[in-house]
């Protein structure tokens, strides 16, 4: 009886947790979109400044790096910002065209820890009243249920095996 209650409780916890993914992923995408917009603006301004001086982006970065230690540090920061903008833009492009189930498949696209942390900080769990929320809840319930069932089965076999060892010693 206790095993069934524990299994049910873990299944319900899995349902509650998984059912939150569609809304969390939506909030992550909104923050991702804002980050991409701001980074794109920065990159465009840098490219425009370089263009006004008759330089390509790469030539402007080399020129910036020649400006002493501060210029070199700033050039490294700009390179990192450009790379982040490209990575986040690619993630956003894939996620924007994806529904909640495809977003779960594309979980690796939720890789920016700063955006993920801020989305989680602002996230408020709620009861999902959508089809995808129900599907994720069902998957979480089944996952939790199966996990506990496997764990309890392993413990029963271990207990049986240990009893068998004790009988052989006597």
Separation of alpha carbons 24 and 167, rounded Å: 53
pLDDT in tens, 31-84: 999 999 999 999 999 999 999 999 999 999 998 888 878 888 889 999 999 999
| Lowest-pLDDT range of 13-17, 28-32, 98-102 | 13-17
DSSP-derived secondary structure letter, 115: H
CA distances from 11 to 4, 8, 27, 56, 65 (A): 10, 5, 25, 57, 56
């Amino acid at each position: 009886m206790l095993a069934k209650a524990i299994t049910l409780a873990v299944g319900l916890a899995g349902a509650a947790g998984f059912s939150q993914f569609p809304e969390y992923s939506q909030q992550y995408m909104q923050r991702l979109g804002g980050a991409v917009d701001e980074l794109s603006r920065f990159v465009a301004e840098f490219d425009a400044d370089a263009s006004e001086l008759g330089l390509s982006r790469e030539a402007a970065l080399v020129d910036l790096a020649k400006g002493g230690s501060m210029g070199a540090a700033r050039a490294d920061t700009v390179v990192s910002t450009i790379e982040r903008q490209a990575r986040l833009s690619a993630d956003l492009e894939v996620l924007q065209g994806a529904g909640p189930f495809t977003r779960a498949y594309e979980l690796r696209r939720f890789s920016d820890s700063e955006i993920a942390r801020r989305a989680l900080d602002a996230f408020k769990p709620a009861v999902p009243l959508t089809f995808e929320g129900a599907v994720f809840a069902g998957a979480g319930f089944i996952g939790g249920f199966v996990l506990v069932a496997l764990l309890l089965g392993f413990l029963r076999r271990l207990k049986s095996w240990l009893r068998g060892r004790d009988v052989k010693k006597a």
